[in-house]
């Protein structure tokens, strides 16, 4: 799934979550998936061991870990939250993700990603 971001910038991205105090990345991921999509039934497959750094409006942002997650694409997604970050989502294959994603580092992550031997 990729999300169309509208808060602070516009474009397509993967779900990202800010770590809260003493929170581990996998805990932040679980919380973020539930908060940002309403999904409660998903499986965290594995860490991809990929870290990213990108700059937006002069600020450095870091992604401390990236995970592969499995979810049912037929489940209803809700993007309604207190602060609206995204206005739409798409379930996509690897090729479409690479075409749509905004950030070059994330596109490169998808290019190198092996899913079911592909």
Question: In the chain, what are the domain boundaries?
Answer: 2-112
Long-range contacts of 110-116 (CB under 8 A, 24+ apart): 113/48, 113/68, 115/68
The answer to whether the Cα torsion of 97, 112, 68, 35 is positive or negative is negative
**Is this model's pTM higher than 0.85 or not?**
no
CATH architecture of the domain 2-112 equals Alpha-Beta Complex (3.90)
Residue by residue, pLDDT tens for the chain (118 residues) are 999 999 988 999 999 888 888 999 899 999 999 999 999 999 999 888 877 766 667 776 766 688 889 999 998 899 987 788 999 999 999 999 999 999 888 898 889 887 766 5
């Amino acid at each position: 799934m990729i999300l169309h971001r509208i808060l602070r910038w516009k474009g397509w991205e993967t779900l990202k979550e800010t770590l809260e105090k003493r929170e581990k990345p996998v805990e932040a991921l679980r919380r973020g998936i539930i908060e940002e999509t309403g999904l409660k039934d998903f499986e965290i497959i594995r860490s991809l061991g990929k870290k990213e750094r990108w700059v937006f409006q002069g600020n450095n942002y870091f992604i401390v870990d990236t995970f592969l997650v499995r979810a049912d694409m037929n489940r209803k997604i809700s993007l309604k939250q207190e602060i609206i970050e995204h206005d739409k989502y798409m379930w996509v294959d690897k090729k479409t993700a690479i075409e749509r994603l905004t950030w070059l580092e994330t596109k490169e992550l998808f290019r190198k990603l092996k899913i079911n031997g592909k």
